A and B are shown apart, each in its own frame.
Chain A
């Protein structure tokens, strides 16, 4: 397919999105990520029955926490696609990149820099 998508995205492979926990998302922000998105299978077609539903719930919880601590829940997003939808994968990457650019850098990263200076 050779689709292009932004190069500033780091892909972390997991056996199922059900493996993604809230702490993984939060730690990404602590370490300076500007945004995190989780790409799972379509709801209803999880091989492990409810992995992608768990992931969605955890993404929602992470959003709520990030809103409360001033990082912004909008920096986290859940996407779903089926295995044959490579074009969607590229589209989500572009969409997320644009969204995060709009939001600007992760404020935690900036605060760390300011405190170190």
Chain B
């Protein structure tokens, strides 16, 4: 899923302070799971903001709503009939939701209420870690299911580098060396032969290096 983190409330206050009527809009998907932008976080943030502005002598209208998703037309349409009532929307969706909403509702400022961080997993409640950088050409089949693109600091495709020591990356003891993990996993799978195969130069044009990407699936388009 897309992992996001809360934005400091001070930063949000600074961004919305000149408005009078705001809609705090949550998303029921990834940001709900990572407890940054779901219904609960919308309620907490809206309540805190209302109290902050009241305390500062301003009765700001701060309403709350949460959509099933903010990255799909049909859900974003649900707010069409009420969006004009607001000076701005504070979206707690990931950056995709914020942008998609801004594209749809041209005349309303849409502000991000979270920091979108990475594609990751919930290791445990309160701990999310990166697993994928959406490079567009998945190589997990040959690396024992461990991604050197997202988990190796240098994105080395034939690792490890000389900085690997006792299973840890030279970045620090708290960072596992991805290539150490890959070798261990290939060993466990009895597929160390895969490790001996030199990975050829990766086509990075499917990664961000090739500019903004698209997936076009004519087979499902109607």
A binds B: yes
Chain A interface (Cβ within 8 Å of chain B)? 21-23, 26-27, 29-30, 65, 68-71, 107-108, 111-112, 114-115
Assembled-state Cα–Cα distance A23/B50 (Å): 13
Instruction: Check if A69 sits within 8 Å of B57, measured CB to CB.
Output: no
Interface residues of B in 41-92 (CB under 8 A from A): 43-44, 47-52, 54-57, 59
Q: Which of B40, B50, B56, B59 contacts A21 (CB 8 A)?
A: B40
Question: Are A26's CB and B40's CB within 8 A?
Answer: no
In contact, B57 and A115 (Cβ under 8 angstroms):
yes
B9 is an interface residue with CB less than 8 A from chain A: yes
Q: Which residue of B lies closest to A110 (CB)?
A: B55
25 A-B contacts (beta carbon < 8 Å): A21-B40, A22-B40, A22-B44, A23-B40, A23-B43, A23-B47, A26-B51, A30-B47, A65-B9, A65-B48, A68-B9, A68-B10, A68-B48, A68-B52, A69-B49, A70-B52, A71-B51, A71-B55, A107-B55, A108-B54, A111-B57, A112-B59, A114-B57, A115-B54, A115-B57
Kindly state the separation between the CA atoms of A85 and B37 in the bound complex, as whole angstroms.
40
Q: How many whole Å from A20's CB to the nearest CB in chain B? A: 13
Contact A108 B40, CB 8 Å, known A68-B9, A69-B9, A115-B57: no
Nearest Cβ in chain A — how far from B35, in angstroms? Answer: 11
A65 x B54 contact (CB < 8 A): no
Total contacting residues, chain B, CB less than 8 A? 16
Bound-complex Cα distance A7 to B208 (A) = 64
State the majority secondary structure of interface residues on B.
helix
With a CB–CB cut-off of 8 A, which chain A residues contact B50?
Answer: 30
| Complex interface residues of chain B between 168 and 197 (CB less than 8 A to chain A) | none
Q: What are the residues of chain B within 8 A of A108 when measuring CB–CB?
A: 51, 54-55
Interchain CA distance A21-B50 in the complex, whole Å: 18
B55 cross-chain contacts in A, Cβ below 8 A: 69-71, 107-108, 111
Contact pick for A26, options B10, B48, B56, CB 8 Å: B48
Q: Are A23 and B44 in contact (CB under 8 A)?
A: yes
Cα A114 to Cα B55 with chains together (Å):
10
Chain A residues closer than 8 Å to B47, beta-carbon distance: 23, 26-27, 30
- What is the distance, in angstroms, from A68's C-beta to the closest C-beta of chain B? 5
CB distance from A48 to the nearest CB of B (A): 15
Complex Cα–Cα for A69 and B191 (A): 57
Q: How distant is the Cα of A23 from the Cα of B49 in the complex, in angstroms?
A: 12
Beyond A68-B9, A108-B51: 19 further Cβ-contacts under 8 Å? Answer: A22-B40, A23-B40, A23-B43, A26-B44, A26-B47, A26-B48, A27-B47, A30-B47, A65-B9, A68-B10, A68-B48, A69-B48, A69-B49, A69-B52, A69-B55, A108-B55, A114-B57, A115-B54, A115-B57
Which residues from chain A contact B48 at a C-beta distance below 8 Å?
26, 65, 68-69
